[in-house]
Structure 1
């Protein structure tokens, strides 16, 4: 069946990307980002540089590519349009963080958290990655605005959506930096919720059902 074949291809592609990215983050952490070449990563992952570039067009993508934008957009689209913008966006960001940090149990969960921490530390400490991370920030901001179903023909509505998305992402970034500084000990979703409460007030997210 064509759909089944497409699903299998997508699964294999995703698995190849995860393998390559895991080796890249490990090598960048051990040897330094600038001292590690794309060829080094390809050799460690057991693939060719050509195959690697099909999955990750640039060296920066080896660290920065993730599925967070898709997760956030799905959760925003499923939320009620009657809620305040920052609540819709904030809850989606908290939920996506919960998904990204709960990718397993026991050793798998620990490995997943360590991978996320290593990626985050690289983004914070590497100038080239900090610059590209800003580009990703704007891309995620636009993804959020699109997921909100904002009327692009109404400048005020679009402005409000972009402002809310930008403010939420800035608060989340503060939480991510704190999470890295604390070596991942706090639960990331709760830390992001605390950042939102500090930025927007305790009552904005009172119905999330989480301990902020």
Structure 2
């Protein structure tokens, strides 16, 4: 998920790559809205974005990746490492995600909601998201481990990272039930419940 907060200045080549990647995603999302995810082919996206097949697959190995991939996870983990040590792991993650959502430009927030809506609606994307959640959990575990001075294979570290991912999935399900709801507020409330110990 990419934040504009505290992002280092990119070089010309990196900015060009970022623009190409964003353009492909924008054209893909437009086509998905217009004719449906299943009815849209990679070839149609390539044509709309005016890129070569090689360029497309350099950025997105599969059609699912066009929806699922973003730069958010590395930025969030980097920001996690900057949080005050007196914060608990869940408090730190909650603070990072609250700041992340607040930093999104309106068009970034809209794109994120479009992609999440697609994920919810498409079984193939939901299945692919399970793999992505595992990768995200490992990234979070790496950040938590570094912050706590523990190995990322530590069971307690993995348990906290897994709990965070589970809570985020629950928040997404709650948002699906109420698409008019405020997703950042739902995420924050869900993490607050985790912070309080998941009591009922």
Normalised TM-score (structure 1): 0.78
Cα deviations by residue, 1:35-63 (Å, 9 ceiling, x for unpaired): 11101001111212221111111111111
Q: 1:197 aligns with which of 189, 192, 195?
A: 192
May I ask how many residue pairs the two structures share in their alignment?
Answer: 185
1:7-86 alignment runs, 5 A limit: 7-86=11-90
Tell me, in whole angstroms, the C-alpha distance in 2 between the residues paired with 1:177 and 1:95: 22
Consecutive unaligned residues in structure 1, runs of 5 or more: 1-5, 104-108, 203-212
Does residue 131 of structure 2 align to residue 135 of structure 1? Answer: yes
Q: Is the 8 A contact 1:172 1:195 kept in 2?
A: yes
Q: Is the 8 A contact 2:91 2:195 kept in 1?
A: no
- Partner of residue 205, structure 1: none
Tell me, in whole angstroms, the C-alpha distance in 1 between the residues paired with 2:49 and 2:128: 24
Shift of 1:129: 1.0
Normalised TM-score (structure 2): 0.82
Q: Is the 8 A contact 1:120 1:180 kept in 2?
A: no
Q: Which runs of 4+ in 1 moved over 6 A?
A: none
Tell me, in whole angstroms, the C-alpha distance in 2 between the residues paired with 1:57 and 1:86: 33
Shift of 1:28: 1.8
Cα deviations by residue, 1:58-96 (Å, 9 ceiling, x for unpaired): 111111111111121111110123322211222223322
Q: CA RMSD in A?
A: 2.1
Shift of 1:184: 5.0
